[in-house]
Amino acid sequence: MMTPPTPLLRTEKEPLSGPLPTLPERAIPTPEELQADEIFCRQLVDRSLLHGPNRRLKELRLILDVAWEFLKGFRALHFVGPCITVFGSARFDENHRYYQLARRMGAEIARMGFTVMTGGGPGIMEAANRGAKDVGGRSVGCNIQLPFEQKHNPWLDRWVTMKYFFVRKVLLMKYSYGFVIMPGGFGTLDEMFEALTLIQTKKVKNFPVVVMGTDFWQEMRSLVDHMLKGATISPEDIDLICWTDSVEEAVAHLHERAVRQFGLRHEPIPCSSVLLGERSL
């Protein structure tokens, strides 16, 4: 009969309970610092959510506020139809080549019968929405409240402005059958890898991802190849990614991996209910 292992013992006799350690004087916030922190959290409600533990009633109010944000987004976007979401930087003006590329891509997405969805702001987002309207297509946006004002662009049939980034990301993914990644910054990277992670973990179906601006994303593509060589991702994880600068190639990829794969057809969008206060596009 095997002898059971000896349990680990504490070698020191320090108490398991007692007063919390005293903070050094320099670590105790001053009243001015506490007031500045409170003002910071009041400016945007999501700062309070991410700030750490709040009073229980405040936590409940934040939960209800998040639920209301989802409900508001669902009601606003329920009748937009199948979408392709275009991600990209807000910092390119209309003379930039990436703006022009996104505008052409938005037009072609609309010609395929999809609604063009973006983050609703300027730059690449505006370009894709503008391209959709150039050809009479449907154009929607899901904007975000920021410390610096980000207005929705003028090329939208429908838009909704959210307080929370995570709610906005859910909405940008929920109604889409494919994703187009244009050059951008941290926000674009966040959205790109959110989409890829959802696809990899089978949280969503194998929706196509088109990455445009190959010179801009050259290092990123090398990083993805490095992850593949290091076996941290699988070959099938990147099968749905199309790296290209060609609008025609991007459209062909979306058609093959979205339209044909999911059997999408040109059908009327379901009618909205006046009794429920709903509005179709």
**C-alpha to C-alpha distance for 253 and 268, rounded to whole angstroms:** 24
Q: What is the pLDDT of residue 50?
A: 79
Ranges assigned E (strand) in 145-278: 158-162, 176-181, 209-212, 241-244
pLDDT at residue 119, as a whole number = 96
Q: Provide CB contacts within 8 A for 239, sequence distance 6+.
A: none
DSSP 19-88: PPPPPPGGGSPPHHHHHHHHHHHHH-HHHHHHSS---HHHHHHHHHHHHHHHHHHHHHHTTS-SEEEEE-
Task: Return d(Cα 179, Cα 128) in angstroms, integer.
Answer: 12
d(C-alpha 111, C-alpha 66), whole Å:
35
For 80-262, CATH gives 3.40.50.450
Domain ranges of the chain: 32-70, 80-262
The amino acid sitting at 257 is R
Q: List CB contacts of 192: < 8 A, sequence separation 6 or more.
A: 87, 179, 181, 209, 211
CB 61 within 8 A of CB 69: no
Structure tokens at 58: 């405040």
Write the burial class of residue 245 (CB in 10 Å: 0-12 exposed, 13-18 middle, 19+ buried). middle
Beta-ladder partners of 243 = 211
Q: pLDDT value at position 205?
A: 82
Instruction: Give the closest residue to 122 by CA, choosing from 164, 152, 161, 78.
Output: 152
CA 26, CA 3: separation in Å to the nearest integer? 53
> What pTM was estimated for this model as a whole?
0.81
Nearest to 137 by CA among 160, 123, 118, 119: 118
- With 0-12 / 13-18 / 19 or more C-beta atoms within 10 angstroms meaning exposed / middle / buried, residue 99 is buried
- pLDDT in the model for residue 15: 54
Q: What is the pLDDT along the chain (281 residues), one digit of tens a residue?
A: 566 555 555 555 555 556 666 656 556 777 776 666 666 666 566 677 777 888 899 899 999 999 999 999 999 999 999 999 999 999 999 999 999 999 999 999 999 999 999 999 999 999 999 999 999 999 999 999 887 756 889 999 999 999 999 999 999 999 999 999 999 999 999 999 999 999 999 898 888 999 999 999 999 999 999 999 999 999 988 887 999 999 999 999 999 888 776 665 555 566 666 666 666 77
